[in-house]
Amino acid sequence: MGCTSSVIDSNHKVPERKWTYRNHIVNSFEIKDNTKAYNIYFKLRHTADYKYSNIFILAHFGNGKNVITKRYQYKLAKNDGEWLGSGSGNIFSYILPMQTNYHFPGNGKFSIEIEQNMRDNPLLEVVDLGVLIEETPN
């Protein structure tokens, strides 16, 4: 694998493994070279007791002036119930693509705010989540 440079690699622990609608995860970062392309990922860890085979999230991309909201659905398990994430004991981890080869509109400060968009509030058995942004390998 090539050497990639991370702009941000965050992990936010979910209190009591209960992700509520109000518990938005905010990730602030700075882009210093918008001529480069970046990959943006949503990171998720849940227990084997998570009761769905998917997850819906809302991601709010902000640049200090405007906010663009996108809804994402990620499949977390096969049809037979086998988890797609990498497992370590009772915990399953995912690094899920949000944007690939993305060019930020300029240099400066940006934010990505993530909220859960499922029917359950709170959404149970979510351990932690975060955002990974890295330069695309040349």
Each residue's pLDDT tens digit, 69-128: 999 999 999 999 999 999 988 999 999 999 999 999 999 999 999 999 999 999 999 999
Q: Which residues does residue 132 pair with via DSSP β-bridges, in sequence order?
A: 9, 41
Q: How many CB atoms neighbour CB 57 within 10 A?
A: 21
Q: What percent of the chain has pLDDT over 90?
A: 92
* Predicted pLDDT at 87: 92
* Predicted pLDDT at 71: 98
Q: How many CB atoms neighbour CB 119 within 10 A?
A: 7
**For the stretch 67-86, what's the b/e string if a residue is b when 16 or more beta carbons lie within 10 angstroms of its beta carbon?**
eeeeeeebebeeeeeebebe
Mean pLDDT of the chain: 95
* Residue 1 banded pLDDT, cuts 50, 70, 90: very low
Q: Which residue has the tokens 């330069």?
A: 135
* Predicted pLDDT at 40: 98
* Predicted pLDDT at 67: 97
DSSP string, 85-117: SEEETTEEEEEEEEEEEE--SSSEEEEEEEEE-
* Predicted pLDDT at 3: 59
> Which domains, ranges and CATH numbers included, belong to the chain?
6-135 (2.60.120)
Q: Which residue has the tokens 């993305």?
A: 102
